[in-house]
Structure 1
């Protein structure tokens, strides 16, 4: 690299710069994964759209014959392939809007991904098109009272979480979580996020998925919808 050239800065919306650390973070703090485990999802073919490091895809492999797990971040997919290989899972580097499959899926799952998409309506319509007759779609995403919090607000929240984490985790893991949450890379990522309110979430998703079921979780809202017909 010549002196006049500057290194390319990673897109803060992606997880490329901290894929390994994010995987550890998700392993220590995954309330959405705990909620998903209560749904008793089963079928033949499943899509995990925005699979990250493969945690939810691996869970789906226990009850689905075939799982396609796609994420735009190549480093996260590499982490998934190394740490969560499974004969029923196929990992692909791809945006969820670039996933096309003529057979369709019995389950289309996306967790914590859709707020990154520039055109939410188009992304929802595309995911809807991938659901087989009789199949279902489960979409979970972060919501907030305001579209974008400040860095200071996130740091204050991390301080509050530290007290809770000390009670539920080893001190070393709790301290690591605090340092991750207050680190510049993670805060840069959070500052690139723009969230819907719970009301906006329900209104936007209901336009594409009429009669969907909505569930409010701690910091997210989940939607579950089944396409009419038989598998």
Structure 2
């Protein structure tokens, strides 16, 4: 976990820039619960999703292990109904329950997913939803050239969409030594592993494959 903290601290500013441009949070917005009192973002990074949720919930809490990410979040994205906490997802210390708990590209960093799921289940109100989006790959740890090739393929489309200067900045981040060191240390689950694990932990959950990601939606009855 300390390695992950160090890696994210090193890339925080560029990670925030790239994710502000590229990330699509529609999966979370399309699965909002009926009750909109409190929301929790596990692994909130620089607060992009927290900021989106703040327009829909009375209170939103974002937790992350990277001080650099949280500093960006507090400076750029802290409406009055949001709070950011430096907290490990595997050791949650939170007061009260939530109507919506979300997590984006965080669960593959966890050592004990069943433990975290159990904690999150206890933190959900009845009728609340747990929505997870995380990387899926048939290869547990893709090599660096896969990410570099992806950055090359996306470069021209990014120029058309974001302009040359922004496309270069995205490319430089995606092919930087710091970022490649991070992604080549990640370990992803296959689609079959997702179904085996989450259908056991979250009965009646819905799983949705979306390219590089697997989405999981579970409602507490």
TM-score (norm: length of structure 2): 0.93
The list of structure 1 runs, each at least 4 consecutive aligned residues, that deviate by more than 4 angstroms after superposition, is none
SS at match of 1:98: coil
- Determine the C-alpha separation between the residues in 2 that align with 1:179 and 1:196: 27
SS at match of 1:211: coil
The Cα of 1:192 is off from its aligned counterpart by 1.3
The reply on whether 1:69 has 2:62 as its aligned counterpart is yes
- Determine the C-alpha separation between the residues in 1 that align with 2:199 and 2:156: 37
The reply on whether 1:11 has 2:3 as its aligned counterpart is yes
SS at match of 2:51: helix
The reply on whether 1:174 has 2:167 as its aligned counterpart is yes
The corresponding residue for 2:113 is 120
The unaligned stretches of length 5 or more in structure 2 are none
What is the number of residues matched between the two proteins? 218
- Determine the C-alpha separation between the residues in 1 that align with 2:29 and 2:157: 23
The Cα of 1:12 is off from its aligned counterpart by 4.6
Deviations 1:90-112 (A, max 9, x none): 10011122223342111111111
SS at match of 2:204: coil
Cα RMSD over matched residues?
1.5
Instruction: Report the structure number with the largest CA radius of gyration.
Output: 1
TM-score (norm: length of structure 1): 0.89
- Determine the C-alpha separation between the residues in 1 that align with 2:137 and 2:167: 24
The corresponding residue for 1:152 is 145
- Determine the C-alpha separation between the residues in 2 that align with 1:38 and 1:135: 14
- Determine the C-alpha separation between the residues in 2 that align with 1:130 and 1:157: 38
The corresponding residue for 2:133 is 140
